[in-house]
Amino acid sequence: MTTRCDFHTHTTASDGSFTPEELVRYAKEKQTAVLAVTDHDTIGGLARALAEGKRIGQQVIPGIEITTRLEGCEIHLIGLFVDWQDPGFASRIDALSKTRDLRNMQMIEKLRAHGFAITRQDLSRFSGSILTKAHIGQILVERGYAATVMDAVNAYLRKGGIGYVERVTPAPGDAISLIHQAKGLAFVAHTNQIDRNSRDHSCELCRRLLRIGADGLETRYCEFDNDWRCRTEAIAEEFRCLRSGGSDFHGTFKKGLDLLNGYGDLEVPYAFYEAMQQKRRLPG
């Protein structure tokens, strides 16, 4: 029996290059024990992913990745086992996607003001997806402004870049409550990305989210070095909370990064899944 899991992946419903069906089939090919589909601020790919998982015998967890902000830092929360068919949850997620649409248009206008050959109409080909910085980055690559999507995002669309626009996002506590109301578990994602200038500050903000109700954090992530693995594991021990992890797989949009393996040394054990299931069975 395969025992490796991936609780952080993306499809064409947000900013991945694999369709939900392709991602699930690839997970099956790689002998993934449990796959979570966690697109950004959308549940649009879950029905297709779950249906394909049932068809081919691949276990799929319905999930989502929600963007929040705290003390000027962007913090992503992963929701796992969410009741994506709950009307109230679906309505709130739809509202989140609309804030992305507004931010995307504003970023394009800023890039145009700096002479970049890009228009709002360029995004129309991505209809059916929740549009993200990666889609704008893909257009910039095609126009010769960057070598890769990640290069484009890092150069122009992150904080400090000429095309950056801060998006209106829910407070972390509201996002945690939203996940819990949908019967899901909330995890702090990629702690290393919270404050790229201060590991200590990143860890303290992670602790604050755990204190206000997050169920756990990612202790295994594709970008973690040994120091980050030790720091996040220490936090998990401190709070006696759940652990998660994943590759943050985006298909071809992240060069050299693969499902399950990340950049080569990632391993997310089945024991994480078992602990999650145990907590879900507890009353209350």
Do 85 and 145 have their domain in common?
A: no
pLDDT tens figures, 231-251: 999 999 999 999 999 999 999
Record the pTM.
0.87
Do 202 and 263 have their domain in common?
A: yes
pLDDT of residue 108: 93
Domain interval for residue 148: 95-157
Q: What percent of the chain has pLDDT over 70?
A: 98
Would residue 67 count as lying in a domain? yes
Do 84 and 113 have their domain in common?
A: no
Do 118 and 184 have their domain in common?
A: no
* Residue 128 banded pLDDT, cuts 50, 70, 90: low
Do 219 and 268 have their domain in common?
A: yes
pLDDT of residue 159: 83
pLDDT of residue 283: 72
Mean pLDDT confidence for 23-43: 97
Do 257 and 122 have their domain in common?
A: no
Would residue 167 count as lying in a domain? no
Three-state DSSP class for residue 32: coil
Would residue 78 count as lying in a domain? yes
pLDDT tens figures, 172-196: 999 999 999 999 999 999 999 999 9
pLDDT tens figures, 250-277: 998 888 999 999 999 999 999 999 999 9
What domain count does the chain have? Answer: 2
